[in-house]
Amino acid sequence: MNEQKPIYGGQAVVEGVMFGGKKHTVTAIRRKDGSIDYFRAPKKTISSIQRLKKIPFLRGIVAIIEASANGTKHLNFSTDRYDVDPAQDHEIKPEEETSKLTMILGVAAVGVLSFLFGKILFTLIPAFLADFTQPLFPSVFATVLIESLIKLILLLSYIYVISLTPLIKRVFQYHGAEHMVINAYENNFDLTVENVQKQSRLHYRCGSSFILFTVIVGFFVYLLVPADPLWFRLLNRLLLIPVVLGISFEVLQLTNKVRDIPGLRFLGYPGLWLQLLTTKAPDDQQVEVAIASFNELLNVEKEEKTGVKEEEIV
């Protein structure tokens, strides 16, 4: 392995990519006229929150909330401007911004922004539907297994259906571009379109993997609590959401740490398989946007250290 590098994360937005470091986040989007526009925002640090992020199982929940808060601003920026000519930016009105964000909210449904919201829905519906199979399969193990299978089917079906829409398909392409840039950076390649296009569009730290791990972890956690009556099952599923999220985050971190160990890298494969749905192969222009976003983040970080801003290199 090469020398330790800073860890960066990101997410796809409409016609662009957001990258985040320890103190800053940057989004680059492709505008209607073909130009690349940027949105930069510092990460707000609260000492009490930072302490919580060091506590296992709690840090995962904090990370989700923090990512949702940061992602909202960047998603809003992209949805407001991706289809607007830059010369008309002054015409964007607050009420229009709100309505457009609402219309496009499905873009973030499989991402961190609406994860907690969707988690409740994808938790209660399978638990309710599994109750109809109890006359045939009365054991707790069978009930929980069927519940988990229903949850997995709903999740995969939802992702597949929304991926058929042109807008979401492009978001998934930018999601692939985001991973490819991170992989190129972590593998010490120069960030050129040619080099990035050679990288995998899958990554062990992806939020898609986290979503799938909540299904797997939930199965084992639910085996430890009573499944009857139905009202109690629905209640404990809701109360256990933070527990499942916290454990799933630790599993995600573990799979990333052991990804270079031949006998253990398979632990992250289920999450990588899901990414075959949530990422698509990007074209060169989309990769260019992802590279521009990442380079701008590096420039912002360097500017903070030196007080001198570099010219953008794409």
Question: According to the model, what pLDDT value does residue 116 have?
Answer: 58
Question: According to the model, what pLDDT value does residue 150 have?
Answer: 95
Q: What is the pTM of this model?
A: 0.83
CA distance 125 to 175: 28
What are the tens digits of pLDDT across the range 45-75?
666 667 777 788 888 778 777 777 677 778 8
pLDDT at 95 over 50: no
Question: According to the model, what pLDDT value does residue 89 have?
Answer: 67
Give the pair of three-digit tokens for residue 248.
């799933």
Question: According to the model, what pLDDT value does residue 269 have?
Answer: 92
Residue 93: CB atoms within 10 Å: 10
Give the pair of three-digit tokens for residue 108.
């973030």
What are the tens digits of pLDDT across the range 219-257?
999 999 988 899 999 999 999 999 999 999 999 989 988
Give the pair of three-digit tokens for residue 46.
């609260």
What are the tens digits of pLDDT across the range 132-181?
998 898 899 999 999 999 999 999 998 999 999 999 999 999 999 999 99
CB 57 within 8 A of CB 245: no
pLDDT at 304 over 80: no
Q: Which residue has the higher pLDDT, 260 or 220?
A: 220
% the chain with pLDDT above 90: 49
CA distance 191 to 183: 10
